[in-house]
Amino acid sequence: MAKVWVILEAQDQKIKKVSYEMIGLAKQLGDVEAVLLGSGVSSLAQEAGEYGVSKVFVADCAELKDYTTAKYTRVLADLIQKKKPEIVLVANTSQGRDFAPRVAQRIGAGQISDVMDYQEGQFIRPVYSGKAFFKVSPCACPAIVTVRPNVFPAAEKCGGSCLVEEVAASFSADDLKAIVKEVVKQVSSRPELTEANIIVSGGRGMKGPENFAILEEMADVLGAAVGASRAAVDSGWRHHSFQVGQTGKTVSPSLYIACGISGAIQHLAGMGSSKVIVAINKDPEANIFKVADYGIVGDLFEVVPMLTAEFKKLLS
Amino acid sequence: MKIAVLIKQTFDTEAKIVVKEGKVDPSGVNVIINPYDEFAIEEALRIKEKVGGEVVVFSAGSDKVTESLRKALAMGADRAVRVELDGVAVDEGVVAEALAKAVGEGNFDLVLTGWLAIDDRSAQVGVRVAEILNLSQINMVTQLELADGKLTGSREIEGGMEVVEVPLPALITAQRGLNEPRYPSMKGIMQAKKKELKVVNASDLNISAQPKVEVKDVFLPKAKEAGKIYKDDMADAVSALVKALREEAKVI
Ligand SMILES: Cc1cc2nc3c(=O)[nH]c(=O)nc-3n(C[C@H](O)[C@H](O)[C@H](O)COP(=O)(O)OP(=O)(O)OC[C@H]3O[C@@H](n4cnc5c(N)ncnc54)[C@H](O)[C@@H]3O)c2cc1C
Ligand SMILES: Cc1cc2nc3c(=O)[nH]c(=O)nc-3n(C[C@H](O)[C@H](O)[C@H](O)COP(=O)(O)OP(=O)(O)OC[C@H]3O[C@@H](n4cnc5c(N)ncnc54)[C@H](O)[C@@H]3O)c2cc1C
């Protein structure tokens, strides 16, 4: 059986959900081992064992407290070259997509990016903004595969334990040239856009920044994140980190509620892979209805508060 | 400052995708400079306007990409280099090596690229070039400052922002938010016609990489079935929708 590695991603001393999704995929591919990098993370390694990982390599040292491209690349490239896994799964997150191609290049590997499905030995990834898909397979070992969050079902807890092997990390002066000056966390009670299960999004139809309050209220009832179209971002109503679309975030929640968004092709590029799409728009001809699973033709200022009230009844 | 900018020509964002003989058919499609690469060009021009120097744009592709290189020259880049890949079997690693070899001869202080090409979407080439040329990188940058030979870039991370400092020489990949790209002026368009546009053949670059991944097939997504659209009575519509989301779609 192929040796498949999952590069676990942790944040604030917690293994992120996407890591379990990668373990789920890895089990379809072969024998699963995992790698964990960070500072003070050793205690998390055993957790992976409960999900069917046989061994976890842990590089735990002060230098790995702050993520930088060069440090992660050093540790991972060295380890892959030594242990020779056949496939290495990396989360397609701000971190994963930063180091994966650099590791791939250093070890002379191919990379298959932003994978959303695996069928008959081939990885499926969206191209042309999700208007088409490539079926790709590696023709050399090892291969790096970056995995889109929120798409693969997470591995189930199956008990058991794993071997933990500590990995010594050593860095050259070059590896330590980049310095993280600051990490600014937005204090928000809402989930991050790319990790959210439900997203409520607003467009030009919101008419002004103050009106996003009604979407935030709905979002908080649903435990959802709040997104925006480019028109709303360009109008200065929302920060561009909340933009969904071709030049914004690509999201795959299980439910995407688009309010006052016309459904331009560039917007669909970012949310077309959502499992269920709901559109609220006063224009019955709006393009968003062509991709919506459910929709309401009406004034969002009337519909959204009613919907929030109905959700509240159901969920409280 | 010597600045290299890597630009890819891509399909227009509105383009309809047609698959013919297992490949995406490019005929009749309008092409543009990859939107993220326009941010890279703009940032290079702004830095040059501040500290002086030269901006050179590179694109790997057939004669067709000349149009995009000319546009970059019209925006204000000084020279252009086209890397002809004809006859070379490529994947991301091969394209990156070709570009890195072409760029590598120029002793650049800074290389700017987009973070992702909106057509093939692999988000690899910029980072691979940084590795080949042994440059520090800051990926997906939304704000960039240059002072005392160091670059400080802000990049988005999940739920926040990270500020990273790297010494020059370095490679930056551009994300939306970095700037608003300018349009070429009439004067710029006229001047661009006289600017140098060199062609380098991949076969002269001693590329050692071989493709490591293989695209086996291209397919279009299945057409979606028409959704359930409620109208007229809003109270009925809202309760029908919530019921459907719970009982049928099972997402809440
Ligand atoms: C290179 C490029 C990249 C782009 N990238 C992106 C991207 O990443 N993301 C993105 O979103 N766009 C992107 N765009 C822009 C895109 O083409 C559209 O312009 C944009 O998505 C429109 O936003 P919108 O739907 O909010 O606004 P509009 O198209 O103006 O639609 C507003 C909608 O609100 C409805 N409405 C108005 N009032 C109400 C009301 N009271 N109740 C209910 N409905 C109402 C209207 O019927 C209309 O359908 C890009 C464009 C280009 C050229
Ligand atoms: C097996 C395989 C076969 C392929 N065959 C062909 C083929 O026959 N013909 C073909 O044209 N393509 C082919 N491609 C596509 C080609 O490999 C990719 O376009 C290329 O690898 C760049 O990847 P990307 O477009 O995903 O760019 P990304 O990695 O997403 O691009 C990131 C940034 O790198 C820079 N960049 C990327 N490409 C270029 C470029 N060409 N010139 C300058 N800067 C660039 C830009 O700044 C861009 O914003 C093939 C790909 C694969 C995997």
Ligand nearest to the CA of A287: 1
pLDDT, tens digit, 9 for 90 and up, residues B207-242? 999 999 999 999 999 888 889 999 999 999 999 999
Give the C-alpha separation, A200 to B231, whole Å: 20
Ligand 1 contact via B12 beta carbon (within 6 Å): no
Confidence of residue A87 (pLDDT cuts 50, 70, 90): very high
**A230 CA → ligand 1 middle, Å:** 6
Are residues A243 and A230 in contact, defined by beta-carbon separation less than 8 angstroms?
yes
Strands A132-138 and B213-219, by their bridges, are antiparallel
User: pLDDT value at position A185?
Assistant: 87
pLDDT, tens digit, 9 for 90 and up, residues B117-131? 999 999 999 999 999
Residue A188: pLDDT above 90?
A: no
Query: Which one of A249, A261, A271, A302 would you pick to mutate in the ligand 1 pocket, going by the greatest count of ligand atoms within 8 A of its CB?
Result: A261
pLDDT, tens digit, 9 for 90 and up, residues A104-150? 999 999 999 999 999 999 999 999 988 999 999 999 999 999 999 99
Compute the mean pLDDT over every residue in chain B, rounded to the nearest whole number.
96
Give the C-alpha separation, A133 to A212, whole Å: 34
Confidence of residue A1 (pLDDT cuts 50, 70, 90): confident
Alpha-helical runs (H) found in chain A: 17-29, 42-49, 69-83, 96-107, 212-222, 230-234, 265-271, 288-291, 300-315
The beta-carbon neighbor of B92 closest among A93, A111, A284 is: A111
CA distance A68 to chain B (A): 9
Q: Which B residues, 166 through 185, put their C-beta within 8 Å of a C-beta on chain A? A: 166-167, 176-177
User: pLDDT value at position B222?
Assistant: 87
Residue A9: pLDDT above 90?
A: yes
pLDDT, tens digit, 9 for 90 and up, residues A264-312? 999 999 999 999 999 999 999 999 999 999 999 999 999 999 999 999 9
Residue B8: pLDDT above 90?
A: yes
Q: Residue A93: its chain B contacts at CB < 8 A?
A: 158
Residue A81: pLDDT above 90?
A: yes
Give the C-alpha separation, A111 to A105, whole Å: 9
Ligand 1 atom closest to the Cα of residue A263 is 25
Q: Residue A137: its chain B contacts at CB < 8 A?
A: 213-214, 216
Chain B contact for A259 (CB, 8 A cutoff): no
Residue B24: pLDDT above 90?
A: yes
Residue B206: pLDDT above 90?
A: yes
pLDDT (mean) for A152-172: 94
Q: Which B residues, 44 through 83, put their C-beta within 8 Å of a C-beta on chain A? A: none
Are residues B1 and B49 in contact, defined by beta-carbon separation less than 8 angstroms?
no
Tokens coding A146? 């970056």
Tokens coding A115? 């994978």
User: pLDDT value at position A264?
Assistant: 97
Rounded to whole angstroms, what are the CA distances from B15 to A266, A271, B23, B134, B187?
A: 11, 18, 15, 37, 30
Q: What is the DSSP string of chain B?
A: -EEEEE--EEE-TTPPP-EETTEE--TT--EEE-HHHHHHHHHHHHHHHHH--EEEEEEES-GGGHHHHHHHHHHT-SEEEEEE-TT----HHHHHHHHHHHHHTT--SEEEEES--TTT----HHHHHHHHTT-EEEEEEEEEEEETTEEEEEEEETTEEEEEEEESSEEEEE-TTS--PPPPPHHHHHHHTTS-EEEEEGGGTT------EEEEEEEPPPPPPP-EEE-S-HHHHHHHHHHIIIIIS---
pLDDT (mean) for A154-183: 94
Q: What is the CA radius of gyration of chain A?
A: 21
Region for residue B149 given its phi and psi (left: phi exceeds 0; alpha: psi -120 to 50; beta: otherwise): left
Compute the mean pLDDT over every residue in chain A, rounded to the nearest whole number.
96
Alpha-helical runs (H) found in A84-211: 96-107
Confidence of residue B166 (pLDDT cuts 50, 70, 90): very high
Share of chain B above pLDDT 90, in %: 94
Nearest CA to ligand 1 atom 53: B13
pLDDT, tens digit, 9 for 90 and up, residues B167-198? 999 999 999 999 999 999 999 999 999 999 99
**A243 CA → ligand 1 middle, Å:** 11
Nearest CA to ligand 1 atom 38: A205
Higher pLDDT: A160 or A313? It is: A313
Confidence of residue A316 (pLDDT cuts 50, 70, 90): confident
Q: Residue B174: its chain A contacts at CB < 8 A?
A: none
Residue A163: pLDDT above 90?
A: yes
pTM of the model: 0.94
Chain B contact for A289 (CB, 8 A cutoff): yes
| CB atoms A183 and B244 under 8 Å | no
User: pLDDT value at position A122?
Assistant: 97
Residue B143: pLDDT above 90?
A: yes
State the complex-level ipTM: 0.96
Which residues touch B223 (CB under 8 Å, ≥6 apart)? none
Ligand 1 contact via A204 beta carbon (within 6 Å): yes
pLDDT, tens digit, 9 for 90 and up, residues A29-44? 999 999 999 999 999 9
User: pLDDT value at position B223?
Assistant: 84
**Number of C-alpha atoms within 13 angstroms, CB side, residue A29?**
28
**B51 CA → ligand 2 middle, Å:** 31
CA distance B30 to chain A (A): 14
Which residues touch A211 (CB under 8 Å, ≥6 apart)? A202, A301
Residue A84: pLDDT above 90?
A: yes
Ligand nearest to the CA of A214: 1
